[in-house]
Structure 1
Amino acid sequence: MTDPTITRTRTHNEEVAALFLKHSSRIRGMILSMQPDFARADDVLQETFLTVSAKSEQFKFGTDFLSWVYQIARYKVLEDRRRSGKTTEQLSIASIESLLATGSGLLDDPQEERVEALKGCLTKLSPKARQAIELRYAREHPASEIATVLRWTVDSVYVALSRARSLLAKCINEDLRSKGVTI
């Protein structure tokens, strides 16, 4: 006779793995936002899956699965950066989302100058790059939907978003330096 605890655990682990696979393109997109090298991002995605599988018992159904996985993925990206010695300047998802979020509380943020710089830098992007950024961060579309809207391939969307984030990060840092703001 099979132990019900083992069966329940196996089912839980399988359900977590199925959720990961269901959301893998979104998870990959988040990883690419922090690690624009496709090969390294795919390695980080695999490491994230292994960690999620190993820690699947810690996930409680009914809570936010993507938030839980994104946290694991962020740590994996940071580990990858430490191992490789690369510390590329990339704009974080939180920075872009905070800019694109609406609401009066945005200007009360202690990083108001950074947000203002980001607003100015967004206007310097090409119209298509700006549209891709808006679709991804303001409207939360996955890369596959952005590709359909813009009539691009999914890989082209990832490349365009990566380039746009790099340009935004560089522009923001230059703007802040020119104003004497410590970065």
Structure 2
Amino acid sequence: MATPDEIRKRRVEEFCRLFGQAQRPLHRYIHAMVFNTSDTYDILQDTNLAMWKNFDSFQPGTNFLAWGREIARLRTLSYFRTKKRRATTLDHEVLLQLAGDASEVRDEVVAARDKALGMCMERLDDQDRKLLHARYATDDTLEATARSLNRSVNSLSLRLRRIRAKLRSCIEHRLACS
């Protein structure tokens, strides 16, 4: 049986993983409301701090991004009240709803692209999949990967470019068909 410290450590690790995955969508969500990069980063940092402080209120298995967006929404409203600024002539609640709708559509597009990528990766032959894995699953440079595969940098670069083009074409085709 796990000790309380082990349970807490696993929760912190899960939180950190989910937290990292949520940063880009949260940034886009906030930026859609604020339109100012500097203010966006300030609100994101405030949101991140609030998420960490409220870490124990997050229920594992629920939608982490939705939880984070709600915190970001509240922090953005607070920002507008504190700064007494208006990002636009629209009512803040309308602006927040529009930003939420746009963010959901963006998430659906990203999910569709990810699904198409997965399907296209399955269509690649084993050698191409292994080559992609060797290049992108590590932090190695192109030169180090070429050395480990006994290939020249130019030949590896050319082959990777062809594989990426094949994947891009496949993804575009799948998205157009869906």
Q: Under a length normalisation based on structure 2, what TM-score does the superposition of the two structures give?
A: 0.51
Distance verdict in 2 for CA 1:96–1:8, change over 3 Å:
closer
Secondary structure in 1 matching 2:59:
coil
Contact 2:35 2:87 survives alignment (8 Å): no
Following the alignment from structure 2 to structure 1, what is the Cα–Cα distance between the partners of residues 64 and 97?
A: 18
The AA in structure 1 aligned to 2:39 is R
- Kindly name which structure, 1 or 2, has the bigger radius of gyration based on alpha carbons: 2
Query: Paired residues, what number?
Result: 106
Following the alignment from structure 1 to structure 2, what is the Cα–Cα distance between the partners of residues 83 and 32?
A: 18
Determine the structure 1 residue equivalent to 2:18. 19
Contact 2:33 2:99 survives alignment (8 Å): no
1:58 aligns with 2:26: no
Determine the structure 2 residue equivalent to 1:40. 39
Following the alignment from structure 2 to structure 1, what is the Cα–Cα distance between the partners of residues 22 and 99?
A: 21
Following the alignment from structure 2 to structure 1, what is the Cα–Cα distance between the partners of residues 43 and 21?
A: 17
Structure number with greater CO (CA < 8 Å, separation at least 6) is 1
Following the alignment from structure 1 to structure 2, what is the Cα–Cα distance between the partners of residues 88 and 71?
A: 19
Task: Please list every run of 5 or more consecutive structure 1 residues that lacks an aligned counterpart in the other structure.
Answer: 99-132, 146-183
Q: How does 1:135-146 map to 2 (within 5 A)?
A: 137=105, 140-141=108-109
Distance verdict in 2 for CA 1:61–1:44, change over 3 Å:
same
Distance verdict in 2 for CA 1:40–1:15, change over 3 Å:
same
Distance verdict in 2 for CA 1:22–1:7, change over 3 Å:
same
Secondary structure in 1 matching 2:108:
coil
Following the alignment from structure 1 to structure 2, what is the Cα–Cα distance between the partners of residues 82 and 97?
A: 19
Following the alignment from structure 2 to structure 1, what is the Cα–Cα distance between the partners of residues 79 and 37?
A: 13
Distance verdict in 2 for CA 1:51–1:136, change over 3 Å:
closer
Contact 2:73 2:96 survives alignment (8 Å): no
Contact 2:29 2:69 survives alignment (8 Å): yes
Shift of 1:58: 1.1
Following the alignment from structure 2 to structure 1, what is the Cα–Cα distance between the partners of residues 60 and 86?
A: 35
